[in-house]
Amino acid sequence: MTPGVSIHKRVLHYAYADTDALYRDFQISEDGYNEEQAAKNREQYGSNTRNGRAADTAVYRLRRAFINPFTIILFVLAGVSFITDVLLASNFSRNATTVLIILSMLLISGMIRLIQEMRTKHIADRLSRIIHSDVMVRRGGKWRGISSTELVVGDTIRLFAGNRVPADLRLTAANDLFVSQAVITGESAVLEKNAGRLSGHMVSSYAEYSNIVFMGSAVIGGTGEGVVLAVGEDAVYGGFSGAESMGKNRFDQGANSIAWVMIRFMAVLIPVVFAACGLTKGDWFTAFVFALSVAVGLTPEMLPMVINACLAKGSNAMGQKQTVVKNINAMQGFGSMDILCVDKTGTLTGDTVLLEYYMDILGNESESVLDFAYLNSLYHTGVRNHLDTAVLKYRDLPGCSAHFQEIAAKHPKLDELPFDYDRKFASVLVKDKTENLLIIKGSMDEVCRRCAYIEYKGRRSAMGDEGYLSVHAVVDDMLEDGMKVLAVAYKPLEGERLNTSDETDFILIGYLAFFDAPKKTAEDAIRKLKSLHVGIKVLTGDSKSAAVSVCRRLGIDTSEIMTGREFSHLTEDEMLIRMERTAVFAELSPKQKLEVVQTLQSNGHTVGFLGDGMNDLPAVVQSDVGISVDTAAEAVKESADVILLKKDLNVLEEGILEGRKAFSNMSKYIRITASSNFGNIFSIVIASVFLPFFPMTSVQLLLLNLLYDALCLVLPWDQVDEDTYLQPLEWSGRTLGRFMRFFGPISSIFDIVTFVFLFFVFCPSVCGGSFASLAAGGGQERFIALFQTGWFLESMWTQILILHLLRTRKIPLFQSKPSRSVMLVTTLGILIFTVMTFTPVGHLIGLTSLPPAYFGFLIAVVLLYLLLVTFAKYWYVKKYHELL
């Protein structure tokens, strides 16, 4: 098969072909590929990179830094200026200053963003190396672990329980291999795979390809070996790679919401500015250029860079607190999260589960129950869990090793059906002396439901109602004490292959009781999370009694508890209501955990999910912030946004704080800058109607915006008030328009005062007459330069100082102090940009030096402006109960 053949046809072809054809077509030897062959196939079929990672290069970031809607507008302005000021101008009036300034602004803005982007990429690459996923591949005659991104079509790889399938594979060997495609298809069924070729009728769906496993699937149990058919974006399911492929996340939705607010303001203001300038000045071409500059001036140019800096700083801070932030956008999710869903085992309880008792049906210690449980835990190839580990630990006790080795030798494995969350038990078929034994271990209710008999000291009797009553008489007390109890049963079985129809009429022989003590740190962490207004919801597959016992000890509300069976009978309306009231969900399947998360999200919550087992995978992917631990199943780690190097809720509390601080600083920049720019544009509209010239040239307006935005790059390092990060913060543009409409026009009031003072008092006194009375040459040009410089300084001073006023609800500098970097940069900014008007650099863009008398007026206007904004801020917070 050639690379030009559709991947769908390639999958179909090799599903019906034998493995000899596979090895022949891809020229695979018994030793697998060597590095030269791998490089050749990588060039021919592509790399195993997903969701655009292949394009995540320096060239890609260079293009993204310099080519975006706002830089395109600047390019257009530079082109128009070049045509009008250079190409079409006379030799005497030819001037390329405007073009050079705009291009310099483009270069500086792009370079600053590129540096930040490359810095972010470096952090992301470093984090990816920490949590990368390896795969066992046959290369050069040896099995060795390599990064899944290095796989090529034709590689031979091995799969184990807990793996995420790294590419589309045609199986060449399978041993009790079961996979789940829930994460890529939404189907919760566990599928058994084999290495046999398909024959007969054409299959109707990819789920029926029994010898193909698809990229993104999770290995639930067993082992397998296969040849890679497709990698990266060529995979059948489009190179699924975690939560990003499930649709736009909350971060993207919030960013789009903010962008649309800005676009709506542009759509209204730009035509108004164009019409006002054109009608009053009569120069429609210049009015068009000025309207384009307004478009740039209205939008925070450095928005992507400031956001990246805030997120990168937050993720870097988390990296120093035993937390790896894989997806940098998850920092925003931390800031907005108001519900945290957690699994019980290992999160609220310790990672070490102890097998306390192994009992017969009357509660007496029973060695035979332990032996049967040991064989079940030893032979089933599903993802290992705490309970199996606790059972297998008994072989390491002094004097026990030989006994368990003998048990295993006498009972070799024949077949198995792995644990799944519908049956809730694992089945293993082993040989015995005279017959084969089918041994099951799992949920008390599910195992007992399938038992027809009970056995005590070799005597067997019918289960019946009395049998159920005796079972509950033994185990109920242990469940109420918070212990997890599993049932063990067996049955003789003819044949050496298992089928789900065989799982009936078992003989119950006893129970296993495990103790999973609550973590000492969990209660304190839960209290801290509640103080941050993050609700805790426990989603566990454990029994109701065990979940209630642990949650009560940790102070989690257990007044309403819901089991998986109750959940499945809820109507849609009931579900929406019950989700809000219920804090503990027990006996849930993975699909039900997913549905709980989805329901909470549909109720408007930002949901985090902390899990480490394969049963948590769908919910981790669906949640707004998927959280796992470094000891979790590989598939879960790959799908999570955040990896905890220490499984402790206290680390999460620190993550939430960092996320909210990062969000707060992003919000400061967006809201303050957008409202300030809106005020400037509003002032321009008014001034353009009444003034015979532009209150500020397009270049001056663009430069003012760029200089201000450059100062704002320090905001990610600003301090955040405690009352700001105690509440979850919403990332959207829902209230941005209101903030802009409220605070923007306030600055316009003082802009108009400045206009009046400059036009009727200051400029006439300096120039020796009103604008109309001056000569059309140098006199009017001096008048315009003084006016534009005066407003440039007033606008720059108020924009910079308003940062201090609106960055906090409190009184700035006294009740809430900014960081030293913010204080230093804003002070230097005012000083440098004021001095610039006295230098040749200022003269190049039409600014001029001002007499000292103007600065007295400027200080008075700025102080009055800050005083009015202080009162306005107090009123705004009182009415809307928020600022940022």
How far is residue 250's CA from residue 248's CA, in Å, rounded to a whole number? 7
pLDDT score for 541: 80
Condensed to tens digits (0 to 9), the pLDDT of residues 167-189 reads 889 999 888 788 877 666 656 56
pLDDT score for 244: 41
Tell whether the model's pLDDT for residue 126 goes beyond 70: no
Averaged confidence pLDDT in the chain: 80
Selected residue with higher pLDDT from 781 and 109: 781
How far is residue 740's CA from residue 745's CA, in Å, rounded to a whole number? 8
Minimum mean pLDDT range among 95-99, 127-131, 580-584: 127-131
Condensed to tens digits (0 to 9), the pLDDT of residues 586-612 reads 888 778 888 899 899 888 888 989 887
Mean pLDDT of 304-331: 69
> Could you report how far apart the first and last alpha carbons of the chain are, in Å?
58
Condensed to tens digits (0 to 9), the pLDDT of residues 4-45 reads 445 567 777 888 888 888 888 888 888 888 888 888 988 888
pLDDT range class, residue 119, cuts 50, 70, 90 = low
Selected residue with higher pLDDT from 58 and 809: 809
Task: Convert 615-655 into a string of H (helix), E (strand) and C (coil).
Answer: HHHHHHHHCCEEEEECCCCHHHHHHCCEEECCCCHHHHHHH
pLDDT score for 303: 62
CB 1 within 8 A of CB 10: yes
Question: How many other C-beta atoms can be found within 10 angstroms of the C-beta atom of residue 535?
Answer: 18
Distant-in-sequence, close-in-space partners of 714: CB < 8 Å, separation ≥ 6: 819, 821, 822, 825, 826
Selected residue with higher pLDDT from 442 and 317: 442
pLDDT range class, residue 200, cuts 50, 70, 90 = low
Tell whether the model's pLDDT for residue 52 goes beyond 60: no
User: Closest Cα to residue 241, out of 178, 298, 184?
Assistant: 184
pTM above 0.85, yes or no: no
pLDDT score for 343: 82
pLDDT score for 867: 92
- Catalytic residue selected from 343, 360, 371, 388: 343
pLDDT score for 306: 67
Q: Which CATH architecture has domain 354-515?
A: 3-Layer(aba) Sandwich (3.40)
Query: What are the distances in angstroms from CA 761 to CA 775, 781, 848?
Result: 18, 17, 18
Question: How many other C-beta atoms can be found within 10 angstroms of the C-beta atom of residue 203?
Answer: 15
Q: Domain 257-307+656-880 is in which class?
A: mainly alpha
pLDDT score for 242: 41
Tell whether the model's pLDDT for residue 725 goes beyond 60: yes
pLDDT range class, residue 704, cuts 50, 70, 90 = confident
CB 322 within 8 A of CB 337: no
Tell whether the model's pLDDT for residue 195 goes beyond 90: no
Q: Domain 323-349+519-645 is in which class?
A: alpha beta
User: Closest Cα to residue 290, out of 280, 300, 305?
Assistant: 280
Minimum mean pLDDT range among 80-94, 339-353, 500-514, 838-852: 80-94
Tell whether the model's pLDDT for residue 239 goes beyond 50: no
Domain boundaries, the chain: 257-307+656-880, 323-349+519-645, 354-515
What is the β-pairing status of strands 642-644 and 625-629? parallel
pLDDT score for 339: 92
pLDDT above 90: percentage of residues in the chain: 16
Tell whether the model's pLDDT for residue 362 goes beyond 60: yes
Mean pLDDT of 477-502: 87
Domains 323-349+519-645 and 354-515 share a fold: no
Minimum mean pLDDT range among 125-129, 699-703, 796-800: 125-129
Condensed to tens digits (0 to 9), the pLDDT of residues 606-664 reads 898 988 777 787 888 888 888 887 767 666 777 788 887 777 777 778 778 877 887 78
Mean pLDDT of 375-397: 84
Minimum mean pLDDT range among 26-30, 49-53, 405-409, 793-797: 49-53
Mean pLDDT of 83-98: 66
pLDDT score for 644: 79
pLDDT score for 436: 92
Is 343 marked active-site? yes
pLDDT score for 68: 60
